[in-house]
Structure 1
Amino acid sequence: MTISDDRTPPEHVAIIMDGNGRWANARGLPRTVGHRKGVEAVREAVRVAGDVGIRYLTLFAFSSENWRRPATEINDLFGLLRMFIRRDLAELHAENVKVRVIGDRNNLRDDILPLLIEAEETTRDNTGLTLVIAFNYGARDEIARAAVTLAREVAEGRLPPEALTVEAIGERLDTAGIPDPDVIIRTSGEERLSNFLLWQAAYSELVFVPEYWPDFSREVFLGALDRFAARERRFGGLAGRPPVAVRS
């Protein structure tokens, strides 16, 4: 892999972490083993993002559609989230990582919401990598909630209808203040966004890799970033920005 010292990494990388269950099934293992192995891949992705200088890393941890899964699997996923925060929060804080959680917080279990809040509060003043965890997140729901907020402001006379601009909507999304992702990576060979960052992905590059999420190693991550670096981004115009590469 060729690395150029005069190029900078993408500012914001978002990842759809897909394939834990299929990784386990392919090995004759319970799906829970795949999810546990996936937590190790999360740790590696965070390390790589910090090493190469990515400023924002968004991980699709639990979608609003995942509630359709069996209760036993949901409980295991929540258990892994609790374990990750309790085991890794101190290290993330020491590494100057700032944690931010996006998604619908209404009706979250009492043993989950306080952990999410704790992670945000503990790391609020950190200035390094911002780790964005999309939990109980769905892009259509996010946009709908932003629309309700705007409608309420208009109805109450706090905002004129002509102020309903693209910028106004963006400021009321869960990701307010976070730049749109430069690249969205999805593992497992699937090639769709699955209701992830639909508004923010307007000009994101999409990179699909065949590896299941538990196999998302440093090499796979850097390879995906290399593919992004080779793209010419035009943002709707004729002259694109120069391609970027990452430092290993």
Structure 2
Amino acid sequence: MSDSSSKVSLKLSTDRKIQEELKRSGEIPTHIAIIMDGNGRWAKRRGLPRVAGHREGVKSVRDVVEACAQLGVKYLTLFAFSTENWRRPKEEIDTLMKLLIRTLRSETEKLHKNDIKLMAIGDIDSLPKEVRQELREAMEKTKNNKRMVLNLALSYSGRWEIIEAVKEIAKDVKRGKIKVEEIDDKLFSSYLNTAGIPDPDLLIRTSGELRISNFLLWQIAYTELYITDCLWPDFRRKHLYEAIRDYQRRERRFGMISEQIKKKGLNGNA
């Protein structure tokens, strides 16, 4: 065996060992959401065009998706493009859309082979026609996969999603399909883009920014937040493992006290 092959084998063995330790040490989040921030800063620090940061960020996506599937994470939601991002220079937006198309074309078959289902949330109709076409083909190809859901937030904002849900509920009240008294958390959630997907257990934000940036505003009411200074293009599975270790050390009380949580068995980490 060559030195390079030995190094790869050792790396894989070490990675499997870390994953098994994480599985034994506590609960693996069912749903992880990530605000992938810092691509532009990563490129700027290296004297490169911003698109270089976005390209490198695709490598981070690939590694994190693979690691999450191996760990048993069932849902991974990535904030890929916000409604606010449409305000960026047209050249950068065009480049991002082309990169998204190339990534969908190159990665869909791998997702399918690994039994990963691709979904998307957001104002998909606002995306360029070619992006919509590639996205729909990728989602159709992977729609029956069961191992994990990879959920891309594209042209998405939490406020937009909530307003759209309110509009649809108002229409259904007017049609007589639902009564005002029936509106509660569960019903409201069923009108969101994420209907049928459990709320995130863990939200990771890269680049050290201490804000939510209009992401999953309704869904993260009780989500654990993890902020890292690591810029997204540098983020790899080892950083994901660090975030999960931190998550496992926390006690999720959901507004209750520790004794109640332990009694009800609501917290796998308690």
TM-score, normalised to structure 1, is: 0.95
Instruction: Select the structure that is richer in helix.
Output: 2
Structure with the larger RCO, 1 or 2 (CA within 8 Å, 6+ apart): 1
CA offsets 1:137-174 (integer angstroms, 9 cap, x no match): 00000000000000001111221111221111100100
Out of 34, 38, 50, the residue aligned to residue 19 of structure 1 is: 38
Higher radius of gyration, 1 or 2: 2
**1:189 match: secondary structure:** coil
State the match for 2:124 in structure 1: 105
Aligned residues: 244
Give 5+ residue unaligned stretches, structure 2: 1-17, 262-266
Counterpart amino acid of residue 202 in structure 2:
V
Counterpart amino acid of residue 243 in structure 1:
N
Two-structure CA RMSD over aligned residues (Å): 1.3
Shift of 1:8: 3.3
State the match for 2:178 in structure 1: 159
5 Å-filtered alignment, 1:196-207, equals: 196-207=215-226
Is 2:92 aligned against 1:73? yes
CA distance in 2, matches of 1:108, 1:4: 38
5 Å-filtered alignment, 1:89-168, equals: 89-168=108-187
State the match for 1:177 in structure 2: 196
Counterpart amino acid of residue 219 in structure 1:
K
Shift of 1:217: 1.2
Counterpart amino acid of residue 239 in structure 2:
V
State the match for 2:58 in structure 1: 39
Counterpart amino acid of residue 151 in structure 1:
A
CA distance in 1, matches of 2:123, 2:22: 39
TM-score, normalised to structure 2, is: 0.88
State the match for 2:15 in structure 1: none
Compared CA separation, residues 85 and 181, structure 1 to 2 (3 A) = same
Shift of 1:86: 0.2
Is 2:64 aligned against 1:64? no
5 Å-filtered alignment, 1:77-88, equals: 77-88=96-107
CA distance in 2, matches of 1:214, 1:132: 19
